[in-house]
């Protein structure tokens, strides 16, 4: 959606699928740079824009896109109609700029599809129960698309983006990164939550929870390429049980530069200490990621956790305000850290993955500050200056360049 020429290409691609007999709902994002421009205008008026009014402004970018795409389809003889999120029945909570979808009334959309129309719906937005426009946060168009696909019980949700699929890691960091033809929902959810920017985390959650087959495709290919070729390209996000092959131990290496570490030093080691520290953080609508509580020494302990770098200043202020209540000796932070993660469902049946990862980092002289694990991932927090070195070393260590 970067320009009117690109929008015409999108129209040609959509028309191709419609001509093949498919019922089509399209969820476009705003035109390239438009959301940033709108937010920039708001910040020229208020340093910290009012969230409700910011959503009113930011939502207009997608409205332009759906109108232009509908016109492009009408211009080539296709019956198309555009709707805003709220016109299409998308209801959200009232967490402005970070709203979550609560329900979708698909009556209007299904009626249009039955009448042969191509329906175009704004991504990224909806309406709360009080009739206020709300937005879903960055990457919300992916979430809207998968949520709509789930509500409509679509055969497949195709996500067109500026990459041609999901890679073993970011090709801009590792030249040997390889595109995956298939990945499980579990792995994709971990990769998305750990820093992979291909899909927004909530979109993968929707896809997995509602079992919506989702394919990541390139928007830069020829819009008139044969349908069979396009339908089998990219990366299919599927269910683990559908795979007939033994999974590789590790599917990908994810990383996230957007990390900050906060340590609350010398708090009394007693029941409820974690709640009293993280409760005020949660009330400030700040998400916490990695957490470590040190062993008690003389009845005192240190409590460390990570937040998004964008939330770092606010989180530090919240804790400084709570310092006396917490009985903390000191609160320190570091906004120059990064998280690197190894992800793969194959970890379930292979031992020694953690030791291989730690050995590789040790050989590169990289110190691990925090460790977090799940059934299919291992994450480490390191100094941000070593992030790319760590990604390259781990990608090579786990032989991810090989098919």
User: How much is the mean pLDDT over the chain?
Assistant: 92
pLDDT of residue 174: 95
The CATH T-level fold of domain 4-241 is Carbamate kinase (3.40.1160)
When pLDDT is averaged across residues 91-110 and rounded to a whole number, the result is: 95
d(CA 307, CA 287): 6
Establish whether domains 4-241 and 252-397 are of one fold. no
CA distance 53 to 55: 5
State residue 247's pLDDT score.
56
Nearest to 333 by CA among 356, 357, 363, 313: 313
Residue 348 has pLDDT above 90, yes or no: no
Which among 313, 259, 250 is positioned nearest to 281, based on CA atoms?
Answer: 313
Query: Which residues fall within 8 angstroms of residue 200, CB to CB, at 6 or more apart?
Result: 138, 139, 140, 142, 143, 192
pLDDT class of 196 with cuts at 50, 70, 90: confident
Query: Band of the pLDDT at 92, cuts 50, 70, 90?
Result: very high
pLDDT number for residue 365? 97
For the chain, the structural domain boundaries read 4-241, 252-397
Q: Is the pLDDT of residue 241 over 60?
A: no
Contact 84, 122 (CB under 8 A): yes
pLDDT of residue 180: 92
Distance CA 25, CA 44 (A): 36
Q: What is the pLDDT of residue 16?
A: 97
What does the pLDDT average to over 278-298?
Answer: 92
pLDDT score of 244: 46
pLDDT band at residue 403 using 50, 70 and 90 as cut-offs: low
Considering the domain delimited by 252-397, tell me its CATH architecture: 2-Layer Sandwich (3.30)
**CA–CA dist 373, 341 (Å, integer):** 9
What pLDDT was estimated at residue 248? 66
pLDDT at residue 24 tops 60: yes
pLDDT of residue 245: 45
pLDDT digits (tens, 9 = 90+) for 157-193: 999 988 889 999 999 999 999 999 999 999 998 888 7
- Label the pairing between strands 252-268 and 300-308: antiparallel
pLDDT digits (tens, 9 = 90+) for 299-341: 999 999 999 999 999 999 999 999 999 999 999 999 999 999 9
What average pLDDT does the segment 68-75 reach?
Answer: 98
The tokens of 93 are what?
């909570």
Q: Residues 6 or more apart from 142 whose CB is under 8 A from it?
A: 123, 159, 199, 200, 202, 203
Closest by CA position to 257, among listed 400, 381, 393, 389: 381
- Residue 243 pLDDT greater than 70, yes or no: no
């Amino acid at each position: 959606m970067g320009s009117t020429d690109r929008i015409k290409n999108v129209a040609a691609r959509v028309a191709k699928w419609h001509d093949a007999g498919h019922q089509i709902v399209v969820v476009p994002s705003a035109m390239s740079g438009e959301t940033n421009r709108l937010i920039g205008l708001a910040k020229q008026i208020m340093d910290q824009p009012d969230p409700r009014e910011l959503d009113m402004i930011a939502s207009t970018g997608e409205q332009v896109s759906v109108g232009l795409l509908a016109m492009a389809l009408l211009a080539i003889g296709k019956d198309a109609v555009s709707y805003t999120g709220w016109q299409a029945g998308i209801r959200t909570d009232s967490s402005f700029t970070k709203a979550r979808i609560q329900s979708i009334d698909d009556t209007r959309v299904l009626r249009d599809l039955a009448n042969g129309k191509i329906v175009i719906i704004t991504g990224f937005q909806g309406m709360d129960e009080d009739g206020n426009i709300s937005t879903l946060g960055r990457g919300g168009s992916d979430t809207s698309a998968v949520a709509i696909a789930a509500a409509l019980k679509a055969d497949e949700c195709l996500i067109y983006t500026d990459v041609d699929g999901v890679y073993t890691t970011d090709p801009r960091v590792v030249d040997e990164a390889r595109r995956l033809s298939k990945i499980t929902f579990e792995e994709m959810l971990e990769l998305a939550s750990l820093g992979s920017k291909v899909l927004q985390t909530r979109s993968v959650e929707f896809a997995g929870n509602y079992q919506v087959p989702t394919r990541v495709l390139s928007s830069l290919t020829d819009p008139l390429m044969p349908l069979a070729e396009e339908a089998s390209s990219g990366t299919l996000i599927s269910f683990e049980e559908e795979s007939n092959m033994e999974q590789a131990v590790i599917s990908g290496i994810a990383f996230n530069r957007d990390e900050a570490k906060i340590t609350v030093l010398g708090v009394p080691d007693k029941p409820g200490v974690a709640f009293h520290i993280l409760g005020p953080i949660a009330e400030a609508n700040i998400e916490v990621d990695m957490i470590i509580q040190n062993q008690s020494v003389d009845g005192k302990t240190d409590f460390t956790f990570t937040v998004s770098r964008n939330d770092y200043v606010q989180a530090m202020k919240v804790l400084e305000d709570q310092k006396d209540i917490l009985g903390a000796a000191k609160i320190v932070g570091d906004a120059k850290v990064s998280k690197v993660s190894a992800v793969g469902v194959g970890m379930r049946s292979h031992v020694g993955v953690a030791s291989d990862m730690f050995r590789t980092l040790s050989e590169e002289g990289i110190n691990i500050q925090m460790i977090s694990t799940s059934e299919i991932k291992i994450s480490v927090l390191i100094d941000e200056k070593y992030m790319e070195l760590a990604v390259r070393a781990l990608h090579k260590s786990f032989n991810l360049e090989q098919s």
